Amino acid sequence: MKTKIIVILGPTAVGKTALGIKLAQKYKGEIISGDSQQVYRKLNIGTAKATAAEQAAAPHHLIDVRDINENYSAFDFVQEAAKAIQTIQDRGHLPIIVGGTGLYLQSLLEGYHLGGQVNHEAVLAYRKSLEELSDKELFDLLKDKNMTSDQLNRRRAVRSLELYRFSQGAKNQKRAYEVLLLGLNDDRQKLYERINARVDNMMLSGLLEEARMLYQHYPDAQATKGIGYKEFFPYFSGEMNLETAVAKVKQNSRRYAKRQLTWFKNRMKVDFYFLTDPDWQEKIFKTVERFIQKN
């Protein structure tokens, strides 16, 4: 029998963490973070990491599992999330993955193995270059690399080329999971307002000091590339004023939310629940109930 897991995904600031905790409390679940930045110790504010109170409300996994100067990749996530899923299942609990890093989630759920220290942005950039090709150019590229194009649509062709470039010889492995994808979304303007408000709250909570610590002690670490940190570096070096830096964090966060939604819609075929629907939570709980009860 396949292991049942629930995956809550969606753009930044949409409320994934809160929903995950509610489901974990109701259905004897444990949460696995599917976020590429929340793995880092000491980076709590800019990563929107679950607070101590939230982590006490439901067991959490893959949070604070790396030092700031260490790297973390989709390959690492797949290995460690699979172990966490098995541990949770062995306890008779429900694994609930909560996160917005599309590459990580897809890699785990579809056995989409990318090796080494491949990062999300590198794959996005390469994918964009492939998607700009015509059908003929795309399939000719497959042939040039001695890869079959039989019965491949554009989506599969792009995936095959990504694996060729980034997998370092790793083979896809389908995992025995029965997955319920729960997508959260909101009206675009309201989502952007939520993002802006969250950045303001982060500033009040000490985001600037967290970013300064990275700038002073870990300027070249992978963790510094996360949105909410790198935008302050020009401020610290005297090249930008603080107001402009904060505006840049908000702008990049909004753009990231748009990229997240594009990934989920095009790559993972998610049914979204909109926060503008007054019954969205009730609908989700009914869906989860049916999923859990299904043999």
82 known member of a binding site: no
176 is in an annotated binding site: no
Q: What is the CATH number of the domain that holds 207?
A: 1.10.287.890
In a domain, 61, yes or no: no
Domain-embedded: residue 162: yes
Domain boundary among 139, 171, 203: 171
Tell me, yes or no, whether 156 and 203 share the same domain. Answer: no
Residue 62 scores a pLDDT above 50: yes
**Contact partners, residue 1, CB within 8 Å, separation at least 6:** none
Smallest CA-to-CA distance from 232 within 265, 203, 272 is with 203
Angle between helices 120-131 and 102-109 (to 10 degrees): 90
- Check the annotation: does 14 bind a ligand: yes
pLDDT at 98: 98
Let me know whether 227 and 194 are in one domain.
yes
Query: How many whole angstroms separate alpha carbon 258 and alpha carbon 164?
Result: 27
Are residue 163 and residue 193 in the same domain, yes or no?
no
Measured CA angle at 212 (ends 207, 218), to 5 deg: 120
Contact 191, 276 (CB under 8 A): no
Residue 265 DSSP code = I
Is residue 35 assigned to a domain?
no
What is the total count of domains within the chain? 2
Helix and strand numbers, DSSP H then E, in the chain: 12, 6
Residue at 210 is within a domain = yes
Mean pLDDT, rounded, for 57-73: 95
Alpha carbon of residue 182 to chain centroid: 13
Tens-digit pLDDT profile for residues 259-290? 999 989 888 889 899 999 999 999 999 999 99
For 156-198, write each residue's pLDDT tens digit: 677 677 767 776 555 555 567 999 999 999 999 999 999 999 9
Residue 159: inside a domain, yes or no? yes
Enter the DSSP assignment of 96.
E
- Rounded-to-integer distance, Cα 124 and Cα 169, Å: 20
The mean pLDDT value of the chain amounts to: 89
* Residues 226, 198 within the same domain: yes
pTM for this model (two decimals): 0.82
13 annotated as a binding-site residue: yes
**pLDDT at residue number 150:** 46
H or E element at residue 131: helix 120-131
Nearest to 29 by CA among 19, 40, 20: 20
The response to whether 12 counts as a known ligand-binding position is yes
- Domain span including residue 140: 115-171
Q: Residue 9 falls within a domain, yes or no?
A: no
Residue 228 known to bind ligand: no
Q: What are phi and psi of 72, to 5 degrees?
A: -150, 135
pLDDT of residue 97: 98
For residues 215-244, give the mean pLDDT.
Answer: 96
